[in-house]
Structure 1
Amino acid sequence: MSLERVDVAVVGAGPAGAAAALAACRAGASVLLLDKADFPRDKPCGDGIAADAVDVLTRLGVSGVTDGYPAVERLRLVAPGGGEVARPLPRPAYTVPRKVFDERLVRAAVAQGAELRRHAVRSIRPDRDGVILDDRIRARVVVGADGAGSVVRRALGHPVNPDGHLAIAIRGYAPAVGTEQLIRTTSARWPAYAWSFPIGDGSANVGYGETLRGTPLTKAYLLDRLAELLPGGPPTGLRAHHLPLSTHRPPPGRGPVLLAGDALSLINPFTGEGIFYAVLSGSLAGAAAAAGPQRAAERYAAAFGARLGRHLRHSGFAALLTRRPSVVDAAVRAARRDGAVFHRMVDLGLGDGVFDLRTIGRIGAAMLPKRDAAS
């Protein structure tokens, strides 16, 4: 039986896969976009779309992904010790249900020339002429954007993230309370937090997540924690999902096989944000794939490192520091006193920001005990 041939096969049509398909099509490659589901389809997620993600999509020629969903202008962050800061976001964010957002990205990729096909990939094997998928398709380059349980990642020999670098979260929808984004952290089983992101139609995406540490967590337990941190009626549309944190990433690729998004463990360890990482890594992988199989992994790794390397080093270091809830308490106090610190924290948690010495100094000062006014 002859094999179907294509320049680039993208496994997974979520934000990372759609962005990879868009970038590869724009570079002139023939692209087959494969997903096990029909679109539109739901996907468990916080549904938060940061301004940085919109920027990446705009550069790919995609517009209108947030149409119909009002901008969210403010963020309230509650520290493990109970202190909080509420300020305007440096740039507005959006809450767009993934059923809508992913469908819009997929349709944009198809409009650019990608062929979307419902197909669950089960086997991947490189040969001298490319990569063969399920003994049916030969692609010159494959981009694995198939999520936390990535088949492509497993084919490269990379196991799932270990405990301490893998979180679990449960997400649902409930009536919105207010119009600002809320992230409420808690010292109980730290690091852990709940969130409420208003959609703009009177409802909000709500959820709770925590880092796994060897003990299986039940749905009942996750719902109890959510109810404790965000009191209210029981949410609807509940679904749980794993979050492979960026603090433990495999290599971006090997030979003609590349990884992007959750398959590359690109989840921000502070906020659980993954859409910006997904569309950015997908766009870089798609561009590298379109240039051909020779040194595809090396091209992608170089572009990925140049674009995200410094940020990921800073976020990894900050994740190490914030293993102590008291550091997060101090950071929130510093952000309440100084808007520049708040902006740095938001950029680190929702985009590709880094910490500077001034911010570190402000947080360090906030950790010092208050002096007696009479001394």
Structure 2
Amino acid sequence: MDGGDERFDVVVVGAGPAGSAAALAARRAGATVLLLDKASFPRDKPCGDGIAPHALDVARELGVTGLADGYAPVPSLRLVGPGGGAVARRHARPAYTIPRLVFDHRLVEAAVRAGAVLRRHAVRHIEDRGDHVLVDGAIRAGAVVGADGAYSLVRRTLGHAPNAPGHLALAIRGYATAPDLPPEQRIVTTPAGWPAYAWAFPIGDGRANIGYGEVLRGRSLSRAYLLERLATLLPDVDTAGALALRAHHLPLSTRRPPPAHGRLLLAGDALSLINPFTGEGIFYAVLSGALAGAAAAHGDAPAPRYRAALRRRLARHLRHSRAAAALSSQRWIVDAAVRAADRDQRVFDALIELGLGDGLLGPYTLASVAAAVPRR
């Protein structure tokens, strides 16, 4: 028996930013879409909640506006280097801090308004049968987009293991009462456990999203250790009183599986699209989801369509972000970058574009950082 009591052009597994963007793009292409998630919305997702303007740009291209309504833009960023030097400058375009409880719900609601069918369902089995995909023995799909996170079932179905230490970070996040914090996003790096940093991102309602994370290097990191580092790096924030403290893994883009094969496509965290330079992932999620959804909506050869679209849009940037991550493994280079950004707004803007969007590590930035290295 062939199976497939229900039929959809595209089934999206995971309804976070990548999955919702995939559903929106597929609907814009005229496909029937089923959007599956194991949770009901609104639901929380441990994250820094930083939303760069680049992610909102992609959402607007999908016809979605109003994602930041009610949240004041955060005009500036303060970065403290591992050696203690700091730079504080205005963003070229303001960023936002929007709890994922709100952001993800707004995005998935937009997908439903666009005609996607949203269903709470934990997917257990996926089978690519060549001319279609069978989901849990009952749903027939022309293509499946896996937007189901760091431990993606769709990724495992394609034969790819989760990221290993060295290409995986662990972070803890909570919400602290912090009415006196200035309207700036703050990142405090530390030489202990390098590369590692804490953050404090004001939301605008008297609270701040706070957290600490570091790249895993083979040793386990306890909750107590993460909280101790958080308190040490943010001494002016009531970290002890923080609520909703949850830890999560960040699969870094330095080790990505192939993005698609046959009728199965990966997007967002399932594709290990976390910027290794900053830990940012929302822009990557929305962009890769949109590209995957558009490719999946075409019944013929969705995998090569998606691979080509990703190459055009992100390949060069991902090479540069990987190079930036390799350079930043040396603390003295990060300190030089902080000094260079403090001296020159152009360097600051370039680093922000590289870390939050799809910017490149250009010659001017490299020369400026090199010039900021202290001479012996």
Where on the TM-score scale, by shorter chain, does this alignment land: which range? over 0.9
Instruction: State yes or no: 1:223 paired with 2:227.
Output: yes
C-alpha displacement of 1:4: 1.1
Instruction: State yes or no: 1:187 paired with 2:191.
Output: yes
**Which residue does 2:166 correspond to in 1?**
164
Maintained 8 Å contact 2:8/2:140: yes
**Which residue does 2:71 correspond to in 1?**
69
Classify 1:2/1:134 alpha carbon distance in 2 versus 1 (closer, same or farther; 3 Å): closer
- Separation of aligned partners in 2, 1:265 and 1:331: 26
**Which residue does 1:21 correspond to in 2?**
23
C-alpha displacement of 1:162: 1.3
| Pick aligned residue for 2:108 from 106, 109, 124 | 106
**Which residue does 1:307 correspond to in 2?**
313
Maintained 8 Å contact 2:4/2:137: no
**Which residue does 2:7 correspond to in 1?**
5
Classify 1:103/1:334 alpha carbon distance in 2 versus 1 (closer, same or farther; 3 Å): same
Instruction: State yes or no: 1:323 paired with 2:323.
Output: no
**Which residue does 1:152 correspond to in 2?**
154
Maintained 8 Å contact 2:12/2:36: yes
Amino acid aligned to 1:358:
Y
Amino acid aligned to 1:240:
A
C-alpha displacement of 1:149: 1.1
> TM-score, normalised on structure 2?
0.97
C-alpha displacement of 1:3: 2.4
Instruction: State yes or no: 1:268 paired with 2:270.
Output: no
Maintained 8 Å contact 2:52/2:96: yes
Instruction: State yes or no: 1:237 paired with 2:244.
Output: yes
Residue 367 of structure 1 aligns to a residue whose secondary structure is coil
- Separation of aligned partners in 1, 2:309 and 2:147: 17
Amino acid aligned to 2:307:
A
- Separation of aligned partners in 1, 2:91 and 2:24: 29
- Separation of aligned partners in 1, 2:371 and 2:226: 35
Alignment of 1:72-151 (within 5 A): 72-151=74-153
- Separation of aligned partners in 2, 1:2 and 1:140: 11
C-alpha displacement of 1:2: 4.9
- Separation of aligned partners in 2, 1:296 and 1:2: 20
State the identity as a percent: 66
- Separation of aligned partners in 2, 1:258 and 1:65: 26
Residue 248 of structure 1 aligns to a residue whose secondary structure is coil
Amino acid aligned to 2:351:
M
**Which residue does 2:303 correspond to in 1?**
297
**Which residue does 2:366 correspond to in 1?**
360
- Separation of aligned partners in 2, 1:302 and 1:129: 21
Question: Structure 1, residues 95-146: CA drift from partner, whole Å, max 9, x if none?
Answer: 1100100000011000000000000001111113311111111101000000
- Separation of aligned partners in 2, 1:330 and 1:2: 58
- Separation of aligned partners in 2, 1:148 and 1:35: 14
Residue 361 of structure 1 aligns to a residue whose secondary structure is helix
**Which residue does 1:288 correspond to in 2?**
295
- Separation of aligned partners in 2, 1:347 and 1:98: 22
Alignment of 1:249-268 (within 5 A): 249-268=256-275
Amino acid aligned to 1:241:
H
- Separation of aligned partners in 2, 1:164 and 1:365: 30
C-alpha displacement of 1:295: 1.8
| Pick aligned residue for 1:212 from 205, 212, 216 | 216
Residue 20 of structure 2 aligns to a residue whose secondary structure is helix
After TM superposition, the runs of 4+ consecutive aligned structure 1 residues lying more than 6 A away are: none
- Separation of aligned partners in 1, 2:194 and 2:5: 50
- Separation of aligned partners in 1, 2:72 and 2:34: 33
Amino acid aligned to 1:109:
A
Amino acid aligned to 1:214:
G
Instruction: State yes or no: 1:279 paired with 2:286.
Output: yes
- Separation of aligned partners in 2, 1:199 and 1:322: 28
Classify 1:138/1:201 alpha carbon distance in 2 versus 1 (closer, same or farther; 3 Å): same
Question: Structure 1, residues 229-268: CA drift from partner, whole Å, max 9, x if none?
Answer: 0123211110100000011111111111000000000011
Instruction: State yes or no: 1:35 paired with 2:52.
Output: no
Q: Structure 1: 5+ residue runs without aligned partners?
A: 371-375
- Separation of aligned partners in 2, 1:2 and 1:281: 27
**Which residue does 1:373 correspond to in 2?**
none
The count of aligned residue pairs is: 369
C-alpha displacement of 1:175: 2.1
Maintained 8 Å contact 2:147/2:268: yes
> CA-atom RMSD, angstroms?
0.9
Maintained 8 Å contact 2:277/2:322: no
Maintained 8 Å contact 2:130/2:262: no
Maintained 8 Å contact 2:130/2:263: no
- Separation of aligned partners in 1, 2:278 and 2:56: 18
Amino acid aligned to 1:33:
L
